[in-house]
Structure 1
Amino acid sequence: MSLKNDITHIASAHKKFFVSLLIVFVPILYLLSGFYSVGQEQRAIVTQLGKVIEDNVMPGMHYHLPWPFEKVQKLTSTSLRSISIDFSEGAQKFIQPELTTGDGNLVTVALEVQYNVSEPSVFYNAALDAEAVLQQIARAETLYYVGGNGFESVLTTGRTRFQNYIKNAIQSYTHQYQLGLRITSVQIKRLEPPLSIKKGFDKVAAARSEKQKLIQDARGERSTQLAKARSEANKTKLNAQAYAKEATEKALGDHERFIALLEAYNESPDITIQRQYIEQVEQVMSRAKISIVKPELVVKE
């Protein structure tokens, strides 16, 4: 007997058993298909015949009525997403890739918008492609800001203000259009003049940097010279004060000696004169050089 005949024979002999097995296990498998899991960085939306019945299912194991009654849509909501906007890429032939500033100059701009899904159900139902809407909003606001500000402001001092404006403006429109997104940051990846004028702009920027460097060097040299002059002035002042003190003390000492000598002279003029004479001789002789010559060495005329 062949294998095929064996299988046919067993199926025929146990037909009721297999039918009962299918009747029991198929519904069980169908019901078990309703279990689903949500990851740590995910949120789930459960719809029943197209209507949202649960809009923010948290991570873990959950259950829903199997298809076609209910459907589960999982969204990565907590992780950070980003879109890049580069006006120089993908521009049509009749549209220039640069943006025009408020004073008529040209700049090339590239941005990166970072965001996450703050309201999964709103994001799921807001638009067919909410991220495409977000990109169009970012492009429109960038054009509006660059067109309303001058060249120098956009490229130099206004970069941080530019980023903050774009972030706040996009967030405002996402709330207005109910996209369910939260903008975390806007980063400028490229903001510079076109290559055709970049060399001239770089020279201007280099000259500005050199000017600031010269100013800083001059201020540093000025500070050094002022500190040196103050030090010299203090030194001269201290020397003058020391000299004045020494001269004053010397004058006071001479005055006291003179008064004492005058009093001694009034009491004993002869003795005082003789003592002064001896002291003067001693002072002179202490500085005098004395040479003793033998008499026989003296040449007589």
Structure 2
Amino acid sequence: MAWNEPGGGKQRDPWGRNNGSGGNGGNGPDFEKFLKQLRARFGRFGRGGGGLFTIIVALLLAWVVLSSYTVIDARQVGVVLRFGQYSRTLPPGFHLKLPAPIEHVSKVFTTQVRSVSDRATMLTNDENIVSVDFNVQYQVSDARKFLFSMTDPDETLKEAAEAAVRSVVGNNNMDTLLSGQGAELVAKTREALQSTLDGYHCGIVVTEVSFQNVSPPDQVRDAFDDVNKAREDKQRIENEAQAYASQVVPVARGAAARIAAEAAGYKAERIARATGDTERFKLLLAQYRAAPQVTRERLWLETMESVLANNPKVFDGSNGRNMIYLPVDKLFGKSKNGSQPSDAVKGAAVQSSSTTGGGQ
């Protein structure tokens, strides 16, 4: 028998539930009854105060729960305002607070590095006009002062930085500004700017000040460029001269030390030789006094020996005949270019010497 065929006064469905009007005769939930109850509750909106009050209370409770805490990031601090007046400062983390609008939390980044840049034309100490591009980087040191001491922090910092730059530039001349003394000028500008900001009680600490460009007006820029080039050339030439002096002076000192050492050695040699000659003369004098004739002969023989030993000697055995002299010692020696004479030259020289009767 099919499930949808009438039988027994009931109509059954495939889930085993009774589809007749009335209660829930099966095991599953009665969706129609649930929908009727839901429509009945929401149908009372506008006709009774009980349902609307419940929703309002639920919304109020949700609003109180969601607005009674705050989470401060690690890079931030929270400034709590109670009815618009400063109450306290919250460190990073999770914090409970009174719900809005009783307390409101303003979060301020304290680790973030902020920066402002500007360009200003100002007058130097020697009444020259110069254009300066400067950049200032800063951080928030006191969130309360940062929020309530200034309406526009960036604009306030820009004006204070321009005043500090003007004070530093006005106390220096153009040559000083263009001569590369930027580090000293930047340090003075930073000190002046921080002093001004501390006087404003604005809760800002300056971390860096830099002059990105310092240049004269366009009308006289070429002249100032020539001056800077001449200054750079002067510095370069001075550096080259110092390098040359560092190279030449040690060499000259070494040469002077060498010459002095050679002179000292020559002096010692001459003194020693003179001393030896003196002693030798004294010994000869003593021998001469003892035997003058023998000493004179011995000195003559020694002198002739030393003279003849260093000079060539030629003996004439021709008995008055013509003699051809051949320098055999030079022919047997090295020639001017350092080469030895050939054997034929040596034989011819010996034969010529034997035929003429000459000898060495």
Query: TM-score, length-normalised on structure 1?
Result: 0.82
Partner of 1:121: 144
Partner of 2:40: 12
Partner of 1:39: 73
Residue correspondences, number? 287
1:22 deviation in Å?
7.4
1:240 deviation in Å?
1.9
1:233 deviation in Å?
3.0
Give the fraction of aligned pairs with identical amino acids, expressed as a percent.
26
Asked if the contact 2:69–2:97 (Cα under 8 Å) also holds between the matched residues in 1, the reply is: yes
Corresponding residue to 2:186 among 156, 163, 171? 163
CA distance in 2: counterparts of 1:71 and 1:151, whole angstroms:
53
Partner of 2:197: 174
Partner of 2:292: 269
Give unpaired runs (5+ residues) of structure 1: 88-97
Q: Which has the larger radius of gyration?
A: 2
Q: Are residues 228 and 169 of structure 1, via their aligned partners in 2, closer, same or farther at CA, if it must alter by over 3 Å?
A: same
- Output one character per residue of 1:14-34: Cα deviation in whole Å (capped at 9) or x when no partner: 999998687567515531432
1:71 deviation in Å?
0.6
Asked if the contact 2:118–2:134 (Cα under 8 Å) also holds between the matched residues in 1, the reply is: yes
Partner of 1:281: 304
- Output one character per residue of 1:186-236: Cα deviation in whole Å (capped at 9) or x when no partner: 111111112222111101110121123233334444555544443333333
Partner of 1:94: none
Q: Which has the higher contact order (CA 8 A, sep 6+)?
A: 1
Corresponding residue to 1:71 among 104, 112, 119? 104
- Output one character per residue of 1:131-173: Cα deviation in whole Å (capped at 9) or x when no partner: 3222111122323333343222333265334322321222112
CA distance in 1: counterparts of 2:209 and 2:66, whole angstroms:
45
Query: TM-score, length-normalised on structure 2?
Result: 0.70
1:180 deviation in Å?
0.8
Query: Does residue 197 of the first structure (1) align with residue 220 of the second (2)?
Result: yes
CA distance in 2: counterparts of 1:248 and 1:103, whole angstroms:
73
CA distance in 2: counterparts of 1:181 and 1:145, whole angstroms:
21
Asked if the contact 2:179–2:228 (Cα under 8 Å) also holds between the matched residues in 1, the reply is: no
Q: Secondary structure of 2:98's partner?
A: coil
Q: Secondary structure of 1:173's partner?
A: helix
CA distance in 2: counterparts of 1:73 and 1:144, whole angstroms:
36
Asked if the contact 1:31–1:65 (Cα under 8 Å) also holds between the matched residues in 2, the reply is: no
Which moved further from structure 2: 222-231 or 264-273?
A: 222-231
CA distance in 1: counterparts of 2:35 and 2:216, whole angstroms:
80
CA RMSD of aligned residues (A): 3.2
Map 1:161-240 onto structure 2 (within 5 A): 161-222=184-245, 224-240=247-263
